[in-house]
Structure 1
Amino acid sequence: MSEKPVIIGVAGGSGSGKTTVANEIYCQFPEQSILMLEQDAYYKDQSHLPMEERLKTNYDHPLAFDNQLLLDHLQQLLQRQTVAKPVYDYANHTRSSDVVMVEPRDVIILEGILILEDEALRDMMDIKLFVDADSDLRIIRRLMRDIQERGRTIDSVIDQYTSVVRPMHLQFIEPTKRYADIIVPEGGHNRVAIDLMVTKIKTVLEEKTMI
């Protein structure tokens, strides 16, 4: 059996550019050696709750995530086993009946707003990144995304940001910055940080092929 895969955590607030950073790193590698795992896929199943309860879901709170399932899947991937990644149905605010089969790879990029909040998840990561961006940039990016891609109104986005997203960021996400090995300012626009990460991963992969 080959050596244990490397897990890279990419955290950061909503609109920070963490997904862009994760995708930029991912795209630098051939498909057979790297995979992406999104924490967003691991929101808890809520099929047992009535719709009015599901509508109250705070997706920016640590308790919204099924971290145990994510940990189980990471353990299986480390043991070179294929996992059935859940698919979340945002329209119905619960887990879909669909799954995506994910095969093990040499490098696993784990991306999500709260991946550094959970100690057990942190302990599994070989490299921990926190993508940082000013709050004004994050709200502008979130506004543009939610209006263009999700058909939201400006008022609804601002209301959600001020009542939920911002306080959750300050309480749970921002404090996890201290656990990061590397803090990446300016998100996906920071070519130097992305290039450094790509070089580091290439070194790791080359060392594996030499063993």
Structure 2
Amino acid sequence: MEKDKITIIGIAGGTGSGKTTVVKKIVDALPPHYVAVVPLDSYYNDTTGMTDEERHAINFDHPDAFDWKLLHKQLADLRNGIAIEQPTYSYLKCNREKETIHVEPKPVIIIEGIMTLLNKKLRDLMDLKVFVDADPDERLIRNIQRDTIDRGRTVSMVVDRYLKVLKPMHEQFIEPTKRYADIIIPQGGENEKGIGILCSYVTGLVEKLDK
């Protein structure tokens, strides 16, 4: 696939803000097999060689937790029409899995995650930058719902982590990246009109590339 036929969209926002909902709406608005989604969560650092204690002490909401070099290389490869082997990450093991996911370049590449807009080299690869905004209380509720079900944490563990880690990290690293966004979606995944406008814009971009 020609690189000038590829659109890269970065979607950022706090944990529990509704980024996944926005991504799903974009995917559903485009023809089948038109989109490749690359989650930032897949690019947490490889912790092989660390003790369990060291792994569980990792602050997953700090920029240092991510393998930015690998992410930039693979996103650049997709931009240049080269397929990648995307890493996968296990929250239960706090490490990468052995298995990778084969990702082919598509007309639309979406990179989605809390700090997607933080890294300038990544931003320079993006054609469109989106920040999904949501009320902190709503984000906390979604975190409780997700982490107790998907990540085996208790409610007290989630709330404690939110107050000690998520909230300060959000204020320090995530919220400031809003200024880099071309589009801000307030009310998170509940903003149907805002998401609809975004989807229409992305659809228009793809139609131009097809000509």
Q: TM-score, normalization: structure 1?
A: 0.95
The total of aligned residue pairs comes to 210
Query: Tell me, which stretches of 5 or more residues in structure 1 are unaligned?
Result: none
TM-fit CA distance, 1:197: 1.6
Aligned-pair RMSD on alpha carbons? 1.2
Deviations 1:32-64 (CA, angstroms, capped at 9, x unpaired): 221111000000101021221111011100010
Q: Distance in 1 between matches of 2:168 and 2:158?
A: 14
Instruction: Tell me the secondary structure at the aligned position of residue 33 of structure 2.
Output: helix
CA distance in 2, matches of 1:25, 1:208: 16
The residue that corresponds to 2:136 in the other structure is: 135
User: Is 1:85 aligned to 2:86, yes or no?
Assistant: yes
Contact 2:92/2:151 (8 A) holds in 1: no
Aligned to 2:21: 20
User: Distance in 2 between the 1:95 and 1:143 partners?
Assistant: 24
Q: Can you list the C-alpha shifts for 1:56-100, whole angstroms capped at 9, x where unaligned?
A: 011100010111111101111111111000011222211111000
Cα separation, 2, equivalents of 1:20 and 1:202:
17
Instruction: Provide the residue aligned with 1:33 in structure 2.
Output: 34
Distance in 2, matches of 1:82 and 1:27, equals 23
> What's the secondary structure of 1:95's corresponding residue?
strand
Q: Matches of residues 107-122 of structure 1 in structure 2 within 5 Å?
A: 107-122=108-123
* CA deviation profile, 1:1-25 (whole Å, cap 9, x unmatched): 6324111111000111111111111
1:1-211 equivalences in 2 (<5 Å) = 2=2, 3-210=4-211
Which is worse superposed, 147-156 or 113-122? 147-156
Give the Cα–Cα distance (whole angstroms) in 1 for the partners of residues 76 and 204 of structure 2.
Answer: 23
Checking the alignment, whether the CA contact within 8 Å between 1:24 and 1:188 is kept in structure 2 is no
**Taking structure 2 as the reference length, what is the TM-score of the superposition?**
0.95
Per the alignment, in what secondary structure is the counterpart of residue 137 of structure 1? Answer: helix
Residue pair 2:6, 2:107 contacting (<8 A) in 1 also? yes
Alpha-carbon distance between aligned partners in 1 of 2:60 and 2:86, rounded to the nearest angstrom: 18
Q: SS at 2:124's partner residue?
A: helix
Distance 1:135-1:149 versus aligned 2 partners, 3 A rule? same
Q: Counterparts of 2:102 and 2:41 in 1: how far apart (Å)? A: 16
**Structure 2 unaligned blocks of 5 or more:** none
| Rounded Cα–Cα distance in structure 2 between residues aligned with 1:151 and 1:53 | 19
C-alpha distance in 2 between matches for 1:70 and 1:93: 18
Residue 46 of structure 1 aligns to a residue whose secondary structure is coil
One-letter code aligned to 2:110: I
Matched position secondary structure for 2:11: strand
Assess if the C-alpha contact under 8 Å between 1:4 and 1:79 holds in 2: no
| 1:196 Cα deviation from its structure 2 partner | 1.4
